[in-house]
Amino acid sequence: MKIQELIGGVFGEMTVMMQYLFQGWNCRGPAKYRDMLLDIGTEEIGHVEMLATMMAHLLDKAPIKLQEDGAKDPIVGAVMGGEKPSEVMMDIFAAAMNPQHAIVSGLGALPADSVGFPWNGRFIVASGNLLADFRSNLHAESQGRLQAVRLYEMTSDSGVRDTLSYMIGRDTFHQHQWLRAIEELEADGLESHPVPSKFPRDLEKAEAASQFWNNSEGNESAEGGWAKGTRLMVERLNILLTLNLKGKNRLPLQGNLDSTAHRSQSLVMVQLPKRHLHQAKQVLVGNV
């Protein structure tokens, strides 16, 4: 059954439930983040229960209705080879469902995805780095909402749609929640880009950290902001300043400054510590 994907799939409710709970239990940051993780993890337990209850109801009630509807249409039997409509509809239903629903779970939900693959603890992310985890949580909620919306569009059952509509709304809030949590975590100075931020920048290859590689035919990919502009210039400047301030060999600025960087020079500067502004300006114009 398709709804199983929302329970035991890679981005199902079991995954986010366990992901948030383990992130909360392992959290060594401020109490507000730990409490928030356990709050949302507890909510996800309820979502698993909602889906499991809905599945049990559908599995319990659907066979009778399908048989009755099939029996009213004599064409079904003729099309399928002249068998009795009720038998044909039972065969269709049996072929469409996971046989484990009838054999193993007694017409109940399973901790598995829509093709019967069991839920796996390796689906979850709980790294101990809150920024890395919060980004993963945003990804999970985005994929989860996408799948719930697709299931909503695949059914015309008003009860199923009503339940999914509620869960889609909660996924919307959770996406906003993780975006805000990421902002607040960085504002609190607990972690920043790139993750992990505490790794010494002078130990990484500076040129590898500030280059976009075009490995395909054409130059269209180089038109994106990931390949040029203010953000890339800030990254280059930060790397060079880190190296210079620690007494490392001074490196030339890689690549050409584009017009966006020139026009946004003031924006580049305000994102750097004030005590480094003069040196940053020298780097920007190629004097370092």
pLDDT tens for residues 129-183?
999 999 999 999 999 999 999 999 999 999 999 999 999 999 999 999 999 999 9
DSSP 118: B
Q: What is the CA radius of gyration of the chain?
A: 27
Q: Which of 247, 134, 115 is nearest to 195 (CA)?
A: 134
Average pLDDT across the chain, whole number: 77
CA distances from residue 203 to 193, 239, 252, 280 in whole angstroms, order as listed: 16, 10, 17, 20
* Average pLDDT score over residue span 80-104: 55
Cβ neighbors of 126 (< 8 A, separation 6 or more) are 19, 22, 23, 26, 133
Which residue did the predictor score with more confidence, 123 or 251? 123
DSSP 199: S
> Using 50, 70 and 90 to split pLDDT, how confident is the model at 225?
confident
* pLDDT digits 0-9 by tens, 237-260: 666 666 655 555 444 444 443 434
Residue ranges of domains in the chain, CATH in brackets: 4-187 (1.20.1260.10), 201-284 (no CATH)
Q: What percent of the chain has pLDDT over 90?
A: 45
The confidence score (pLDDT) of residue 113 equals 81
* Average pLDDT score over residue span 278-283: 52
- Give CA–CA dist 275/250, Å, rounded: 18
> Using 50, 70 and 90 to split pLDDT, how confident is the model at 266?
very low
* Average pLDDT score over residue span 218-233: 77
The confidence score (pLDDT) of residue 279 equals 53
Which residue did the predictor score with more confidence, 143 or 74? 143
> Using 50, 70 and 90 to split pLDDT, how confident is the model at 27?
very high
Neighbours of 273 (CB within 10 A): 10
pTM, full prediction: 0.70
